[in-house]
Structure 1
Amino acid sequence: MMADVFQQSVEYPFSTLHFGNDADRQFQAIVAIHSTALGPALGGCRLVRYTSTNAALTDVLRLAKGMTYKAAFHHLPFGGGKAVIIAPEKIRDRRDLMNAYGDFIDSLGGMFITAVDSGTGPDDMDIVAKRTKHVVCASKQFSGTGDPSPHTAKGVLRGIQAASKYLFKSDQMEGIHVLIQGVGHVGIQLVSLLKTLGAKVSVSDVNQQSIKTCQDRFEVSVVEPEEVYSTPCDVFSPCALGQIINASTAKQLKAKIVAGSANNQLLDGSYGELLRKLGILYAPDYVINSGGLLQIAYRNDQQLMAREIDRLYERLITIFEQSSRQGVSTNVIANQMAEDFLRESKLKHPLPAVHA
């Protein structure tokens, strides 16, 4: 039985919810729009198996809010939204499924711009782009921005360096032990960046093929998934799915820093405070993982993207310093920054709308 969505909105506020269903094409999807105060809602499309429709609904609502805050933190002209496609046990025709998704997005009339997320990639967005103009992350052939994962990984690296500078007084990665949970599109890019800088890298993933691909390319140690939280390291970098920091896992952590690309890493915001009390420095997820959004916003302008990704370093240092001075968690500080800008409801640096 599906939960009362208006009761859920108390914990996970939203503006509008949209449900798509096409049994012939195995298509079941939810788009959640959290806010359009700053512009059309922008968010990725997640294609994963869910245990229930309720689980999918909770996921999309949490993710949509995170996108609002991510765009507001960077003063970008986008609102926050997210899409989830509830993956069938076996997809008969992926093109047909993505065509259905493209039709669904087009029916929303531009209030939501879709992008990639877990389970989808630029090839999927190419299919969607044939059905709607309200899409990014497609290939150049469709005037898209392409794969955002390299830029997301660059932002995570800058975030790890900022946290290391703040805590260890040096942002040099030589000899720093980083344990990466999840070596998919972003995780494996992060491995490459860290290894180039001389870091010691351990990896963990439930997907053994992803582990093998990583081991074939890099010298890394492998940590079993059940030991990932209790393994000693300098930096724990969650780069898979979210809600992994809870009362149990937080107390198992042997890391001094949590800094990764996963969305919604905290089971809820209160666990940021638990990490603070445990002496673990947390880089707020929607700040450190925003490199992909910056790529989309700045339309692959290499100079602008490099500048804005580099700014993540200083902005995270500011968050860490304010957290220490005010005695509150880093995620609370990041939220305050985003909410201050949302209240202003005006843009300091207007950008062309990507859906035009």
Structure 2
Amino acid sequence: MMTLPHTIGDTPPEEIHLIEDGRGGFLGVIVLHSTVLGPAAGGCRLWHYPDREALTIDAIRLARGMSYKNAMAGLPFGGGKAVLQCPEGDFDRGALLERFAEAVERLGGAYVTAEDVGTAVGDMERVRTRTAHVAGLRAAEGMAGGDPSPWTALGVLEAMRVAVHARLGKDLADVAVAVQGAGNVGGHLCRLLAAEGARLIVADADERRAQALAAETGARVFPAASIAEADAEVFAPCALGAVLDRHSIPRLRAAVVAGAANNQLATAEDGALLHARDILYAPDYVANAGGIINVAAEYLGETAGEVEGRVRAIGPRMRALFERAMREGLPTNIVADRMARQIMANAAGAKHAHLVRAA
């Protein structure tokens, strides 16, 4: 395990494990943030970072988000994350994945991995050749598994439906939604919204991808750099995180923020900025839990029907969160964090009580 960076905040992880290349070269980290609810579950991200500390800080932040996400989704898993440094230029992807798989196997089931940004189903199938502690594989007929993107998009749709009703008093038909990101999840979300009759605005760093999605869904393409300022009732961040900050929030024209991106708030204080502007924020790790619900169900051998029921339950869960935030007069991100921490604290207390009785 490695020494914690000094900038990680007040919720440190249980363990951080280095992944090395056999010659002492740094490849990445596996972070186990919490295992009180069960094995730490979270995807493997392959991304280029400026240095080891930046990678590790992001991995800790992502793992903490997985702890909260899994708790709020009612899953028997804690939170973890693997982050691999994506080399510049050509590299041996297979060798990197094999080293990663060996690191997962050494943890003996304490961490369950799956795909994330920069990795795919094929990568996880390669990882599976070295360890059983992996999900996100191709699904058998009628069973959970495969690409988690459609499930993530469905959960975001249900969260958005509840948020729009709570803030605007209507359903999704004819509501203008600005979607940032036309990738796997953003694309699926746009298709679902188009079927609901929403008016779509879409942007992506790859304009050709945005144009292709617009042609399919009837969306209007917007410049990627200013999509947060689009004249829409809903802003749906579905790319990378930290898009909501003290610079972007004053320029938002939306009344609702509900998207699939992880860590949409640059800081926790940015939730208060949204609250002060009466912008209803659907906390990302509650809204986007559909993917991990699918991954968990696959690992547990459950069916696609069971996944759908749990993903659609994101809507009622979000409604309860909004109602509590309203009663307490607090930003929704603060309420979500408190709810997740309470679930984890209750589990830790129950585990301690069981150990005391066993003694």
With structure 1 as the length reference, what TM-score do the two structures score? 0.91
Contact 1:105 1:134 in 2 (8 A): yes
Aligned residue in 1 for 2:354: none
Aligned residue in 1 for 2:156: 156
Deviation string 1:38-90 (CA, Å, 9 cap, x unpaired) is 11100011111212222211111111001111111123211110011110112
Q: What is the alpha-carbon distance in structure 2 between the residues aligned to residue 209 and residue 61 of structure 1?
A: 34
Deviation string 1:62-119 (CA, Å, 9 cap, x unpaired) is 1100111111112321111001111011243322322222122112222111011111
Q: What is the alpha-carbon distance in structure 2 between the residues aligned to residue 242 and residue 217 of structure 1?
A: 26
Aligned residue in 1 for 2:18: 19
Structure 1 segment 305-324 matched on structure 2, within 5 A: 305-324=307-326
Secondary structure at the aligned position of 2:42 is classed as: strand
Q: Displacement of 1:30 after TM fit?
A: 1.1
Secondary structure at the aligned position of 2:109 is classed as: coil
Letter paired with 1:315: R
Letter paired with 2:313: R
Q: Displacement of 1:212 after TM fit?
A: 3.9
**Which one of 328, 331, 348 corresponds to residue 330 of structure 2?**
328
Of residues 23-32 and 194-203 in structure 1, the stretch that sits farther from structure 2 once superposed is: 23-32
Structure 1 segment 79-90 matched on structure 2, within 5 A: 79-90=78-89
Q: Displacement of 1:144 after TM fit?
A: 7.8
Letter paired with 1:263: N
Q: Displacement of 1:226 after TM fit?
A: 1.8
Q: What is the alpha-carbon distance in structure 2 between the residues aligned to residue 75 and residue 311 of structure 1?
A: 10
Q: Displacement of 1:9 after TM fit?
A: 4.0
Secondary structure at the aligned position of 1:125 is classed as: helix
Aligned residue in 2 for 1:344: 346
Q: Displacement of 1:252 after TM fit?
A: 1.0
Secondary structure at the aligned position of 1:102 is classed as: helix
Secondary structure at the aligned position of 1:5 is classed as: coil
Q: Displacement of 1:168 after TM fit?
A: 1.5
Secondary structure at the aligned position of 1:34 is classed as: strand
Q: Displacement of 1:138 after TM fit?
A: 1.4
Aligned residue in 1 for 2:282: 283
Structure 2 alignment gaps of length 5 or more: 351-359
Aligned residue in 2 for 1:126: 125
Structure 1 segment 195-274 matched on structure 2, within 5 A: 195-274=194-273
Secondary structure at the aligned position of 2:218 is classed as: coil
- Give the CA RMSD over aligned residues: 2.3
Letter paired with 1:149: S
Secondary structure at the aligned position of 1:116 is classed as: coil
Number of aligned residue pairs: give it: 344
Aligned residue in 2 for 1:96: 95
Aligned residue in 1 for 2:355: none
Aligned residue in 1 for 2:167: 167
Q: What is the alpha-carbon distance in structure 1 between the residues aligned to residue 64 and residue 174 of structure 2?
A: 36
C-alpha spacing 1:254/1:37, structure 2 compared with 1 (3 Å): same
Deviation string 1:133-174 (CA, Å, 9 cap, x unpaired) is 110001247x98211110000000001100011112122x22
Q: Displacement of 1:202 after TM fit?
A: 1.0
Contact 2:145 2:297 in 1 (8 A): no
Structure 1 alignment gaps of length 5 or more: 349-356
With structure 2 as the length reference, what TM-score do the two structures score? 0.90
Letter paired with 1:157: L
C-alpha spacing 1:346/1:52, structure 2 compared with 1 (3 Å): closer
Aligned residue in 2 for 1:351: none
C-alpha spacing 1:165/1:289, structure 2 compared with 1 (3 Å): same
Q: What is the alpha-carbon distance in structure 1 between the residues aligned to residue 175 and residue 22 of structure 2?
A: 50
Aligned residue in 2 for 1:51: 50
Q: Displacement of 1:256 after TM fit?
A: 0.5
Name segments (4+ residues, structure 1) moved above 3 Å: 9-12, 23-27
Secondary structure at the aligned position of 2:241 is classed as: coil
Q: Displacement of 1:297 after TM fit?
A: 2.6
Q: What is the alpha-carbon distance in structure 2 between the residues aligned to residue 206 and residue 43 of structure 1?
A: 26
Secondary structure at the aligned position of 1:244 is classed as: coil
Secondary structure at the aligned position of 2:253 is classed as: coil
Letter paired with 2:280: L
Deviation string 1:189-238 (CA, Å, 9 cap, x unpaired) is 10111111111111111123432442343322111122112221111001
Letter paired with 2:272: E
Q: What is the alpha-carbon distance in structure 1 between the residues aligned to residue 52 and residue 185 of structure 2?
A: 27
